Amino acid sequence: MQWLNVFIQGSLLGGIYALFAIGLSMSFGIMRLVNIAHGDFIVLSGYVALVVTQSTGLDPFSSLAIVVPVMFVLGYALQRGLLNQTLTGGLLPPLLVTFGISIIIQNGLLQGFGAYDHRLQEGAIETASIHLPGGIDVGVYPLLVFAVAVFSIASLQFLFYRTGLGRAFRAVSDDADTAELMGIDNRKLYALALGIAMIFTAIAGVLFGIRTIFDPAAGPIRLILAFEAVIIGGLGSMWGTLIGGMVLGIAQSVGAALDPTWQILAGHLAFLAILILRPNGLFPRTRD
């Protein structure tokens, strides 16, 4: 029974990792841009929520009403103003520019908030749990986060496959040159893509910030976890990313059950193993 518990906890953990991964997946899928600062934006969302909750007295969930639009605008402006210019220079410019942004965010946060740990407080829901038969306790909060992840992916799938905007995203992802020849304004579309990606990044940042402490340097590990979920699941498949997140979460849970200090390492090792054995991930879809 204890292992069933491990499996359930790990799967639910996968929900937050999938939420981490959505933004990364979107910007790579649509504009072939790997945002090295992605993890730092997750952390930044947490800090924005912190400021909002402290100045307005709102609880973290409600603060999303402000945090999400703020991060959307930030993403849109960043892509439109800066990142769009890096897309034509090959591999290095986007990598190094987003690397630079990562350093700026981390050190800016350090200057502004200090090196201390912070956490968003949502109250009782953080520790509430559902008691299932067989002695299994399922935390309400992890369940909620998992549900948000599923809902987020479902809405994105709806966006991509049932709307005109989604059609445009898929076209640009297939062939950006021809998409422009068909009348699509690529630059605006990319900006919109990063803006939408930031919506989910913001949600992930706030939800995770309630569950776990964060500090200015917490970005890179978030990026790595998001990246591992995407690679394990296979590039190009959103539901695959959810499965990838769950695999990662389960590997971490197994590691933690053996020894709490092995949690993150267990995840990394599972990732490397899958990379060697199934280099295209579990459910690969895109042609690169």
Interactions with other proteins, residue window 43-62 (CB under 8 A): none
Told to check if 108 binds other proteins by CB under 8 A, we report: yes
Told to check if 95 binds other proteins by CB under 8 A, we report: yes
Residues 35 and 25 sit within 8 Å (Cβ to Cβ): no
Interactions with other proteins, residue window 195-214 (CB under 8 A): none
Told to check if 124 binds other proteins by CB under 8 A, we report: no
Told to check if 88 binds other proteins by CB under 8 A, we report: no
Residue 137 phi, psi (nearest 5): -105, 125
Q: Which are the contacts of 193, defined by CB distance < 8 A and separation ≥ 6?
A: 26, 27, 30, 31, 79, 169
Least distance (Å) between residue 200 CB and other proteins = 19
Out of 132, 137, 185, 258, the only residue in the binding site for other proteins (CB under 8 A) is 185
Told to check if 111 binds other proteins by CB under 8 A, we report: yes
The 3-state DSSP class for residue 89 equals coil
Please choose, out of 55-63, 134-142, 145-153, 177-185, the segment that lies near other proteins by the rule CB under 8 A. 177-185
Instruction: Copy the structure tokens of residue 58.
Output: 């709102």
Out of 231, 242, 254, 270, the only residue in the binding site for other proteins (CB under 8 A) is 231
Out of 70, 77, 150, 264, the only residue in the binding site for other proteins (CB under 8 A) is 264
Residues 203 and 68 sit within 8 Å (Cβ to Cβ): yes
Out of 82, 130, 154, 213, the only residue in the binding site for other proteins (CB under 8 A) is 82
Told to check if 275 binds other proteins by CB under 8 A, we report: yes
Closest CA relative to residue 25, chosen from 276, 196, 142, 267: 196
Told to check if 25 binds other proteins by CB under 8 A, we report: no
SS3 string, 93-162, reads: HHHHHHHHHHHHHHHHHHHHHCCCCECCCCCHHHCCEEEECCCEEEEHHHHHHHHHHHHHHHHHHHHHHH
Residues 208 and 192 sit within 8 Å (Cβ to Cβ): no
Please choose, out of 71-79, 137-145, 167-175, 195-203, the segment that lies near other proteins by the rule CB under 8 A. 167-175
Alpha carbons 104 and 79: distance in angstroms, whole number: 16
Out of 53, 63, 79, 186, the only residue in the binding site for other proteins (CB under 8 A) is 186
DSSP 8-state class, residue 212: S
Please choose, out of 60-68, 137-145, 161-169, 193-201, the segment that lies near other proteins by the rule CB under 8 A. 161-169
Told to check if 36 binds other proteins by CB under 8 A, we report: yes
**Number of Cβ atoms within 10 Å of the Cβ of 9:** 21
Closest CA relative to residue 286, chosen from 50, 25, 9: 25
Least distance (Å) between residue 31 CB and other proteins = 12
Residue 14 phi, psi (nearest 5): -60, -25
Told to check if 40 binds other proteins by CB under 8 A, we report: no
Number of residues that bind other proteins (CB under 8 A): 60
Positions in the binding site for other proteins (CB under 8 A): 34, 36, 82, 85-86, 89, 91-97, 99-104, 107-108, 110-111, 164, 167-168, 170-171, 173-175, 177-186, 220-221, 223-224, 227-228, 231, 261-262, 264-265, 268-269, 271-272, 275-276, 279, 288
